[in-house]
Structure 1
Amino acid sequence: MEQRFRQGAGRLCLDFVRTLRLRGTPEVAEELTDGGALAAWVTQLGPVAPKPGSVPSPSQVGQAQALRESVYELLGAARAGGVAGASQAARNRVNRAAAEPVPQPRLDSTGALRWQADDPVTAVLSLVARDVLDLVTSPAALARIRDCANPDCGAVFLDNSRPGTRRWCSMDTCGNLSKKATFRSRHSG
């Protein structure tokens, strides 16, 4: 399957926040532009995919975007000193999403684990909401949330490195760009 969306932030909720690319920059780009994009994200990052031909409604897309911004707000408040700093609306939205049914595991006749959900989009977004609730109430994990050192990126990630000194959301993208810029500046002129 083609990787359409960036992943690897260390938590599902952080990968979901990345669907607003280049956050805080003039080049900000919405990746969840329509039902097809939301279905593609759920298929790529969730344990269960929507049925072929099933496309989330514009209302579901708007709800997913609102959830993403509530997740981002909740993370920001938690990192700044406590989830009480997040708006009641953001907390309510995340709590409502977390209360939805999640994908259910099933063992098939071949012994393979399969996931199912009546509404895969809602179920995967429930996983996102539950993940952020776990993250913002886990002081050790919360202390490992980092902003990418690339000022043009805007991504956040969970630093799982042993020393806790990771600087880039991805060495393949932002880290490599920084290395190239440093090399050019040292070898120019």
Structure 2
Amino acid sequence: MMHAFVGGAPALDFAGTLRYRHRSVPREDLHSTESLGVWFRESGITEYEIPCELSDLREALVLREAVYRLILDRMSGNAYDPDALALVNDYARRPTPVPQLTRAGRQVEASLQQAFAAVAQNAISVLGGPEASLLKECGNPECSQVYIDRSRGALREWCAMDPCGNRMKAAAYRARKRLSGRKATASVRP
């Protein structure tokens, strides 16, 4: 897979395609028209890659940032940004992909606009639904992935064990080792 799907909802994963937002130089996962088409297939919104043009990619990035803005507003308890809210609601009013039954089984084809509508409707379902209170940002200080914490007791700290959880656990282990090494050195001194 080219893309990561750890948020628990397509809208969260779509917003997470700009990875490591807290770094001075974030990583863009929607770096080409092909990567956008692949994202829709890998997300399950459609079964086939959607052909995209450069203008489509620019439109996707605007939608992504509006979704991310609404997620941040919801998590912080702020009023929704009116421009982001209007944009997402506009996309959500549009038709979404329609599954079809064929001899081969279920099949979903979608236009790019239908795929955008599916993301917008999912964002509304997440932000306006019962799981909105379970939204968390990854505990890795560099990672900005938002996810739904469905763990028992809502104790999940990272978007995923690989790579964020593993990195944070390894860093904590190294810090404990350094601290125990310092304590041992201090107790040996005369």
State if a TM-score over 0.5 links the two structures.
yes
Give the aligned residue type for 1:39.
G
TM-score by length of 1: 0.87
Alignment of 1:137-156 (within 5 A): 137-138=128-129, 140-156=130-146
- Equivalent of residue 95 in structure 2, options 101, 118, 126: 101
Q: Could you say which residue in structure 1 is the equivalent of 2:6?
A: 8
Contact 2:19–2:26 (CA under 8 A) maintained in structure 1 = yes
Unaligned runs of 5+ in 2: 182-190
More helix by share: 2
Q: Please identify runs of 4+ aligned residues in structure 1 that moved more than 3 A.
A: none
Counterpart pick for 2:38 among 32, 37, 40: 40
**What TM-score do the two structures reach when normalised by structure 2?**
0.87
Q: 2:147 aligns with which of 151, 157, 160?
A: 157
Output the amino acid matched with 2:61.
Answer: Q
Give the one of 47, 70, 80 matched to 2:76. 80
Answer with 1 or 2: which has the greater Rg.
2
- Residues 167-189 of structure 1 deviation map (CA, whole Å, 9 limit, x = unaligned): 00001211111111122223344
Deviations 1:75-112 (A, max 9, x none): 11222225xx23322112101211222111111124x1
The count of aligned residue pairs is: 179
1:27 counterpart residue number: 25
- Over the matched positions of the two proteins, sequence identity in percent amounts to 30
Given residue 78 of structure 1, which amino acid in structure 2 is its aligned partner? R
1:37: how far off?
Answer: 1.3
CA distance in 2, matches of 1:95, 1:45: 21
The amino acid across from 1:115 in the alignment is V
Structure 1: which 5+ runs fail to align?
Answer: none
